[in-house]
Amino acid sequence: MAAEWNDMVKIVKGMRMSVAPPLRMLQTPHGTSLTMAPPTKNFFVAKIVDEGPSAEANYTDQRYWVKEQMIANGAGDPDTTDLIWVDNNRDDAIWVTATNMAEVLSETHFILDDNSYRVLVWRTWDFSPVARYCFYSLGDYELGVTDAHDVEPVPVNQALDPTETADTVTWPRDDQPADKDGVDLPVITRLVYREDSAEVLYQFHRVLTFDASGRLFNIGTEVKTIVSTPGLCS
């Protein structure tokens, strides 16, 4: 068996190739050896944190620092018991950068990294091969990123403008103002006219608020305005 492994090493070296897990090449005093790498964790639960393992700065885009978690329930707990999660502090615990695939297009950073949110992370490999980590989550941040990120949505408000000027405000998702985050869009929901109500024409509208990636996260209460009141005919 050893001879076959040595032959494989020679072939790989001759082709100037690298190997991908679970195989690995090791330099030893006797030459290059091709071995099986220890088992790796391709999936694990991690907590989103605000810094790296060596106090590296937090990210502002779709990348997050994630720290591996473990279940701390006791052996006597029934399987219906709520899970208790704690940091995995073993030497092989994973604390790495992971990309949220749900925010790749928007390049946002919406998930609150306050040590309260956990995600399922998976490991993949690039061509090097170097391990890369990803997860997919829409987050459970407060509905209203203006509170979480201290920015205001772009108002597209001329739908309620009494003038006859067409609205020219646009909202390009991929080119938003630096101090804005998302868009507020007023939408007329109904018109009401009743002869027994002073013959007034009422308009009702709601404001729909979308986050920076275009996801609807809030529908405002209905607002009533007067469109027209009775007047003398000329």
What's the rounded Cα separation, in Å, for the pair 49 and 216? Answer: 26
Burial of 100 (0-12, 13-18, 19+ CB in 10 A): buried
- pLDDT tens, position by position, 104-123: 887 888 787 777 789 999 99
* Residue 18: per-residue pLDDT: 64
- pLDDT tens, position by position, 126-171: 887 788 999 998 775 444 444 433 346 666 664 455 666 777 777 7
Residue 220 banded pLDDT, cuts 50, 70, 90: confident
Q: What is the 3-state secondary structure (H, E, C) of the chain?
A: CHHHHHHHHHHHHHCCCCCCCCEEEEEECCEEEEEECCCCCCEEEEEEECCCCCCCCCCCCCEEEEEEEEECCCCCCCCCCCCCEEECCCCCCCEEEEEEHHHCCCCCCCCCCCCCCEEEEEEEECCCCCEEEEECCCCCCCCCHHHHHCCEEEECCHHHCCCCCCCCCCCCCCCCCCCEEEEEEEEEEEEEECCCCCCCEEEEEEEEEECCCCCEEEECCCEEEEEECCCCCC
* Residue 149: per-residue pLDDT: 39
Number of CB atoms found within 10 A of residue 67's CB: 21
Tokens of 103: 């925010």
Span of 7-16, 51-60, 62-71, 196-205 with lowest mean pLDDT: 7-16
* Residue 69: per-residue pLDDT: 93
- pLDDT tens, position by position, 19-67: 665 666 666 666 666 665 555 678 999 999 999 999 999 998 999 999 9
- pLDDT tens, position by position, 169-197: 777 777 777 666 778 888 888 988 877 76
More confident of the two residues 178 and 102: 102
Per-residue pLDDT for 96 more than 90?
A: yes
* Residue 146: per-residue pLDDT: 41
* Residue 52: per-residue pLDDT: 93
* Residue 65: per-residue pLDDT: 96
Cα 183 from chain centroid?
A: 18
Question: Span 67-75, mean pLDDT?
Answer: 89
CA quadruple 12, 14, 17, 23: dihedral, nearest 10: 20
Per-residue pLDDT for 198 more than 50?
A: yes
* Residue 145: per-residue pLDDT: 42
